[in-house]
Amino acid sequence: MRFTIRARLTLLYFVVLAASFVAFFWICDLGFRRAIEITVNDASRTNLEIVQRVLSLCASKGTPKIRKELEELSGLWANGAIFQVSQADGSWLFRSTRFPLAQSLLPAPPPDGVAFFTTNLDYEQYRIAQKTVLMEGQLLHISAAVPTEPFDQALDRFRLFEKRFLPLLVVLASFLGYWLSGRALAPVNRIIESAEQIGLQNLSQRLEVPRAADELQRLTVTLNAMLERIESSVKRIRQFTANASHDLRTPLSLIHTHAELALRRTRSETEYRESLARVLTISEETTQLVESLLALARADAGAAHLHFTEMDLTPLLHKVAHQVSLLAHAKGLSFSARLLTETLFVHGDSAALESLLLAILDNAVKYTPPGGSVRLRSFAAPEKIVVEVEDTGVGIAAEDLTRIFDRFYRADQARSREVPGSGLGLSIAQWIAETHKGRIKVESQLGVGSLFRVVLPLAATLAGSPENSQLLDSQATVS
Ligand code: ADP
């Protein structure tokens, strides 16, 4: 069975308060009984001392005189206090008429000091103080008793009060607990109601932050911050979808147009070939775009599909250097690579790191006009490896530098020069660098060139100084 927080709080109040009230009344009862005991003990002891004083005053005056004095004393006592004085042989010197218990039936008084006990005398409860005294060479036992009934009645009345009020108090306290927890949870319910109103259509709406600086204020501030993040993610997803559909529609309509134009009338074989070649190029670019989109979708789903191993980066660097040198040569660029030859262990996914390096090198070739140069360099720094790609290309304007890693972002230079691309390459490259605990830095000057620096943490290196670098390939022919 599931209880609401309010029900649980009320139950807690009920249990805690019931236990507290029971404990409180129990302690009161205990205190009351102790106070009664002290009071009746004092009363009976005082009476006993009075009897002793009277006895000592008239001890030498003979038994009849003593009896007379004690008789008078007994007449003076009110409130049902009684006493008796007996001799060592058990015979009475004096006893109040309502003191029906023979001395022999009472516990033996202690040889010194006062003893107390409670007993029933003539259907009434009495507290008795007993003492043995030596008077005129004679041992006398004095017993003074006070009725405990008035005190017992007070205790009974208190217990009756307890019995009547305890359940009432507990019930009242539970209602109070129910009301208090309702009041305490009211802001939570308001937060729930407001949160229920927020959906994809009104993601910019925020929860009202309570003024009191308490946990609920923290909760709403945290929820608002979470909504902020969700809103910006949704915005990015919407932007991404819009950009992706736009970028996919463009090549599709181009393919459509080329095919339509080719079919409009009968054409020569060369013309058909040209049209088909254009369609092929566009579809290759589209495949590239779809692959990039897929890579980003996987990146968004997390790095689970990557297979991290302790891998040597050196062969990979040599491999990409070779591939890019062919591209650069084909475009008429000079390409040089100064790479370390030693083993450079990184903890990474080989295919992902290859994509990262190729994305940056590919850009360097793409955005460098024929006649320019591209340089690849690798060197080891303490606990990391640095790969630098430098070109003498179109460069990137300062205002674009912070945005080139955004999805679909292409600087004006790239667009105006109609360099093919989707604006996704660097986003993917940056994601790969980050999942490898590395980073990409860029320095660039418009019209002069760019320098991309990839820094990756090194798992272990056997050697690595720039002097050990090897010139892989130097000049590429300029067309
Ligand atoms: P694209 O497919 O457009 O190349 P990228 O994400 O790889 O997408 O790059 C984003 C933008 O960054 C490019 O459109 C271009 O404007 C700029 N850029 C990237 N690399 C270079 C470079 N080496 N030189 C000049 N501009 C570059």
pLDDT in tens, 58-94: 888 888 888 888 888 888 887 788 888 888 887 888 8
- Tell me which of 451 and 417 has the higher pLDDT: 451
What does the angle CA 43 – CA 45 – CA 49 come to, to the nearest 5 degrees?
Answer: 120
Structure tokens at 96: 């109040």
CA 248 to centroid of ligand 1, rounded, Å: 19
Q: Does the pLDDT of residue 449 top 90, yes or no?
A: yes
Tell me what pLDDT residue 390 has.
Answer: 98
Q: What are phi and psi of 137, to 5 degrees?
A: 75, 10
Name the residue at shortest CA distance from atom 13 of ligand 1: 410
Q: Give me the helices (H) in 108-214, please.
A: 149-197
Q: Please report the sign of the dihedral spanned by the C-alpha atoms of residue 59, residue 61, residue 62, residue 66.
A: negative
Task: Read off the pLDDT of each residue in 239-254 and give the average, rounded to a whole number.
Answer: 86
Q: Does the pLDDT of residue 357 top 80, yes or no?
A: yes
Question: Which SS3 state, helix, strand or coil, does residue 463 take?
Answer: coil
The 10s digit of each residue's pLDDT in 373-418 is 999 999 988 889 999 999 999 999 999 998 999 988 888 755 545 7
Question: Is the distance from CB of 223 to CB of 216 less than 8 angstroms?
Answer: no
Cβ of residue 372 lying under 6 Å from some atom of ligand 1: no
Q: Which of 433, 454, 456 is nearest to 303 (CA)?
A: 433
Q: Give me the helices (H) in 332-408, please.
A: 350-366, 398-401
Task: Read off the pLDDT of each residue in 184-189 and give the average, rounded to a whole number.
Answer: 87
Q: What percent of the chain has pLDDT over 90?
A: 42
Cβ of residue 426 lying under 6 Å from some atom of ligand 1: yes
Ligand 1 pocket test: pick from 288, 410, 432 the residue with the most ligand atoms within 8 Å of its Cβ. Answer: 410
CA 106 to centroid of ligand 1, rounded, Å: 114
Q: Does the pLDDT of residue 303 top 70, yes or no?
A: no
Cβ of residue 422 lying under 6 Å from some atom of ligand 1: yes
Tell me what pLDDT residue 475 has.
Answer: 33
Tell me what pLDDT residue 394 has.
Answer: 92
Question: Which SS3 state, helix, strand or coil, does residue 80 take?
Answer: coil
Q: CA-to-CA distance for 209 and 99, rounded, in angstroms?
A: 80
> What ligand 1 atom has the least distance to the C-alpha of 424?
6
Cβ of residue 146 lying under 6 Å from some atom of ligand 1: no
Q: Which of 235, 239, 231 is nearest to 198 (CA)?
A: 231
CA 458 to centroid of ligand 1, rounded, Å: 27
Q: Left (φ > 0), alpha (ψ -120 to 50) or beta: where does 333 sit?
A: beta
Tell me what pLDDT residue 473 has.
Answer: 39
Tell me what pLDDT residue 1 has.
Answer: 57
The 10s digit of each residue's pLDDT in 122-159 is 778 889 898 888 888 888 889 898 988 888 898 999 99
Task: Read off the pLDDT of each residue in 282-301 and give the average, rounded to a whole number.
Answer: 86
Cβ of residue 424 lying under 6 Å from some atom of ligand 1: yes
> What ligand 1 atom has the least distance to the C-alpha of 389?
23
> What ligand 1 atom has the least distance to the C-alpha of 391?
23
Q: CA-to-CA distance for 130 and 179, rounded, in angstroms?
A: 58
Cβ of residue 251 lying under 6 Å from some atom of ligand 1: no
Within 13 A of 15's CA, how many CA atoms are on the CB side? 6
Q: CA-to-CA distance for 71 and 57, rounded, in angstroms?
A: 14
> Please, what are the domains in the chain?
5-155 (3.30.450), 215-301 (1.10.287.130), 309-476 (3.30.565.10)
Cβ of residue 296 lying under 6 Å from some atom of ligand 1: no
Tell me what pLDDT residue 103 has.
Answer: 53
Tell me what pLDDT residue 309 has.
Answer: 93
CA 375 to centroid of ligand 1, rounded, Å: 17
Q: CA-to-CA distance for 224 and 221, rounded, in angstroms?
A: 5
Tell me what pLDDT residue 385 has.
Answer: 94
